[in-house]
Amino acid sequence: MKLIKIASAIGLCFTSLAFAAPTVVPNPPALGAKGYVLMDFKSGEVLVEKNANTPLNPASLTKLMTAYVAGQEMNAGNISAEDSVLISENAWAKKFPDSSKMFIEVGTRVNMMDLYRGLIVQSGNDASVAIAEHVAGSADAFVMLMNSWAARLGLDNTSFSNPHGLDSEQLYSTPYDIAKLGQAIIRDLPEIYPLYSERSFQYNGITQYNRNGLLRDRSINVDGMKTGFTSGAGYSLASSATQGDMRLIAVVMGSTSPKARESESKQLLSYGFRFFDTIEPNKVGEPIAQPRVWMGDKDNVNVGLAEPLYLTLPKGDIPKLSAVVEMQQDLSAPIEQGAVVGQVMYKLEDQVIAEASLVAQEPVEQGSIFKRLLDWVKKLFASLF
């Protein structure tokens, strides 16, 4: 598709600076964890990382995928939040004597949402097996679903071998993959994600408290997600927090203690909120340009983004953002609504940082014979001068 620049820039509703000072962002905190990542939820931009793509033992961060698979099965109608789940010997609490559990008993029936809370709030290994068996018939079959969803979500350095996260050579993931999984949970399971903010859950007469201590830290608005620990993995934490319209996801893997994983996660989140912001430069449905259309029943067509686009930038760079629109040359009717007719490039100074297709926001039908003849004459004369 041959493109022609029709505008040098479009307004982005930010204050322009004729001579903008260079943006200085301090170095991110250096943490002691084996690996970590800080990601913006909306844009997916990685702001801080160390060993972000190095496979590590996820421990109970595995339960994020257990919850995600079950949530997708619920969305598909294969299971229900109202299901009464029969507890097998495999899921019996006594099978996990030295690990976290919700204390379910063999032969009893447990409500599906109680199991969800036992999985998310109490980090119950027994709950994870009960959910796996209810969804897929067996833990092994459920693991196949976990790995299938991992592939679908693009978790390229992740492998699951059980639904609970106890140590296994075939169980590994990365800080980046866990962050992407957290992003998927928040995006795809809006009815389940609020469970991650619950601070306690009582079952079988036993009250247990969410091990994510950041939920009780009033200085930062953390509303999920999941802790993890085994002797082989160390202490891990996936957390998400909001400030205004911005949401960040931090993943810390292989910290030395529960306090360390919380402190390190808070440092990442605080750094991101302090020095970065996420913007939507143009909204879906907002006309970005109105290029000329030939041979149509109208002379111009509104064009804009087909999908939401978010950019995460240092706060000092936002006023410097500009956009350049390029449209298909000699745009002629008929044009279907949604047809790609050009592109927009977002730039910081002379560097393109993002680009997206522009689509027609309305159909343009072919004009009358007289209109087409008139446009042909106009194009002919325009080509002569």
Exactly one of 60, 100, 128, 255 is catalytic; name it: 60
Exactly one of 123, 128, 161, 322 is catalytic; name it: 123
Model pLDDT, residue 383? 67
Binding residues: 226
Binding residues for substrate: 226
What are the distances in angstroms from CA 357 to CA 338, 343, 344, 354? Answer: 10, 4, 6, 11
Asked if 112 contacts 80 with a C-beta cutoff of 8 angstroms, the reply is yes
Model pLDDT, residue 326? 95
Exactly one of 42, 63, 101, 320 is catalytic; name it: 63
* 332 has catalytic annotation: no
* 123 has catalytic annotation: yes
Name the residue with tokens 């560097």: 351
Asked if 117 contacts 67 with a C-beta cutoff of 8 angstroms, the reply is no
Give the chain's domains with CATH numbers.
3-19+281-384 (2.60.410.10), 35-276 (3.40.710.10)
Determine the distance from the C-alpha atom of residue 245 to the mean position of all C-alpha atoms in its chain, rounded to a whole number: 14
Please give the backbone phi and psi of residue 84, each rounded to the nearest 5 degrees, phi first.
Answer: -105, 115
* 219 has catalytic annotation: no
pLDDT by residue for the chain (385 residues), tens digit each? 556 665 444 556 554 444 456 688 999 999 999 999 999 999 999 999 999 999 999 999 999 999 999 999 999 999 999 999 999 999 987 778 778 999 999 999 999 999 999 999 999 999 999 999 999 999 999 999 999 999 999 999 999 999 999 999 999 999 999 999 999 999 999 999 999 999 999 998 999 999 999 999 999 999 999 999 999 999 999 999 999 999 999 999 999 999 999 999 999 999 999 999 999 999 999 999 999 998 889 999 999 999 999 999 999 999 999 999 999 988 998 999 999 999 999 999 889 999 999 999 999 998 788 777 776 777 777 666 6
- The residues near 37 (Cβ < 8 Å, ≥ 6 apart) are 46, 48, 49, 50, 52, 175, 176, 178, 179, 250, 251
